[in-house]
Structure 1
Amino acid sequence: MTGANHRAAVAERAARAGGVVAREQFRGDLSVESKANKNDLVTETDRDAQRQVVATIRGEFPGDRFLCEEDLPTVSGPGTDHDAEAVDSVPDSGAAWVIDPIDGTANYVRGMRLWATVVSAVVDGEPVASATYLPSYGDLYAVGPESATRDGTELSVSDRTDPETFAVAPVGWWDRNERAEFGRLCSAVGDRFGDVRRLGSFQATLAHVADGALDGLVCTRPMAAWDTLAGVHMVRRAGGTVTDLDGEPWTHDSDSVVASNGEAHETLVVAGNEALTGD
């Protein structure tokens, strides 16, 4: 098995392993805390699931680094005789893993099924494999060196060309004193496209752009790599387009995200800029 194929297989296995932990505790008696604000939630299950993801990866790649949404746990076991090394951004060189144990924790806490366990393998700053597992639905989205699939079926973005038939998702989080921007984004998207959806999980939303269920998304905010990297990689491999609001190719340090099936992408960029500037 080549290095890239090995990382792809481990990404899938780790996402499934962490997702099983989260699924077992779903709709149970959760320990819930707030982080940056009252709606930025974390549960002990997030940490349990992340611990399982990290342990699975370190059994195969004990020297790799980790960029995780939650604090990196200490892991023991075969090949893990030292603490895993945490990084605070995607490294430009070497191998690393980017992990979100429950993307869509607010959905998870409310008992809503749309949440995901997400794992990306990065080498020299670029994703080489990723897996987005939606445990409550049983769907596994996976990208490796030769394929981009959902449950083994090849992914492809939608073939719609008429913006009036598009379903587009505004994505991101706005502080209470910045909610006007979110309102402008919904209005700008609604004025230009057929339907507006907000799903509550960035990675699940990107997965649905990749599989054609959605035609695009717009995020006017800078977002963490664990919210974006796997899904952006997936959309591109499924034939879609991902840029920032300047229309430049998206990178892990971009300050905005526009993803689409490649049709009417410029219209999505215009809508995002209108929301951002108020013009």
Structure 2
Amino acid sequence: MARYADDLALAHLLADTADTISVARFRALDLHVSTKPDLTPVSDADTAVEKALRGTLSRARPRDAVLGEEYGATAASGSSRRRWVIDPIDGTKNYVRGVPVWATLIALLDGDEPVVGLVSAPALGRRWWAATGLGAYAGRHRTAATQIHVSGVSQLSDASFCYSSLTGWEEIGRLDAMLDIMRHAWRSRAYGDFYGYMLLAEGALDVMVEPELSLWDLAALIPIVTEAGGTFTDLAGRPGPYGGSAIATNGKLHDAIYRRLGVDPGTQTS
């Protein structure tokens, strides 16, 4: 049960480093922001955080592979099947505008399975983490934390439904389905990025969906949601972080969301 405890402890140390760098640059008047080829912003804080975490991992886990949003992939040494996945600042658009909803995402994959996940949002004063078999927790720090669980809501009419934005759903032809869910849910809000998934894991909301995501957006979220008792798949019903999309629920609402998004619940694999 404690197989990944040391890796989770390392993830906390990495997050401490990330928090120090990102908080110091948050709302800085000289923050440098540029545009990547995919037209998304990147700040000097994004690159500084990732460089620092890669440096620590090269010393603490030299055999493991690393994948980061800003600097790509570094291969594993020898026969290691382990890979750390880093999003130095998830919510960069918030970060550069001074909105405090942003976080560093740190994950460890053992083979294809995310086994450690940590999300640190220092401007919110909160951190979430989990490892396979160890449960999911949240608090200001690991020494001041409580175990978290998803909600028990079983009807969409009682559910708080969360999403990132509507434009992506329009692009894939499912905007009408999204609007239908919003009409039938008790409440709908667009918290976006990591935050909706963490509120789901805490039981504060019941569904979070996104149509387009990268591996570094997803990998850290999955252990936290699933260890909190939730269900996490892509739009095709496949578990894991490789589908490029996400439907995360408290488990009780998964079939209902699939049906309304036009996915046959019989195709689920988890």
TM-score normalised by the shorter chain: which range applies?
0.7 to 0.9
* Matched letter for residue 101 of structure 1: P
CA deviation after TM superposition for structure 1 residue 50, in Å: 1.0
Work out whether residues 107 and 200 of structure 1, in 8 Å CA contact, stay in contact via their aligned partners in 2: no
Alignment TM-score, normalising by the size of structure 2: 0.84
Give the residue type in structure 1 aligned to 2:210: C
Structure 2 residue runs of 5 or longer lacking an equivalent are: 140-144, 264-270
Between the aligned partners of 1:271 and 1:171, the Cα distance in structure 2 is 17
- Distance in 2 (CA, whole Å) between partners of 1:86 and 1:179 is 34
- Aligned counterpart for 1:140 among listed residues 127, 130, 138: 127
For residue 33 of structure 1, what is the amino acid of its counterpart? S
CA deviation digits over 1:104-154, x for unaligned, max 9? 111111111111101001112212212100110121111124231002210
Offset of 1:182 from its aligned partner? 6.9
Note the C-alpha offset of 1:186. 4.0
Aligned equivalents of 1:270 and 1:244: distance in 2?
Answer: 14
How far apart in 2 are the matches of 1:146 and 1:160?
A: 24
Output the CA distance in 1 between the equivalents of 2:53 and 2:166. 26
Aligned CA-pair RMSD: 2.6
- Map of 1:80 onto structure 2: none
Q: 1:231 aligns with which of 205, 221, 235?
A: 221
How many residues are aligned here? 254
TM-score by length of 1: 0.82
Question: Taking structure 1 as reference, are residues 224 and 187 closer, same or farther at Cα in structure 2, changes over 3 Å only?
Answer: same
Matched AA of 1:195? R
Per-residue deviation, residues 129-180 of structure 1 (Å, max 9, x unmatched): 12100110121111124231002210100122232221212236857x9558
Q: 1:19, CA displacement in angstroms?
A: 2.2
How many angstroms does 1:70 deviate by?
Answer: 0.5
Amino acid paired to 2:35? S
**Which residue matches 2:18?**
18
The equivalent position to 2:153 in structure 1, one of 146, 152, 160, is 160
- Equivalent residue, structure 2, for 1:219: 210
Structure 1: gaps of 5 or more residues = 73-83, 275-279
Between Structure 1 and Structure 2, which shows a larger proportion of strand residues? 2
The letter for the 2-side match of 1:148 is A
Which amino acid is the alignment partner of residue 154 of structure 2? Answer: T
Match of 1:241 among 217, 231, 243: 231
C-alpha spacing 1:8/1:172, structure 2 compared with 1 (3 Å): farther
Which moves more between the two structures, 103-112 or 256-265? Answer: 256-265
Q: 1:86 to 1:33 in 2, by over 3 A?
A: farther
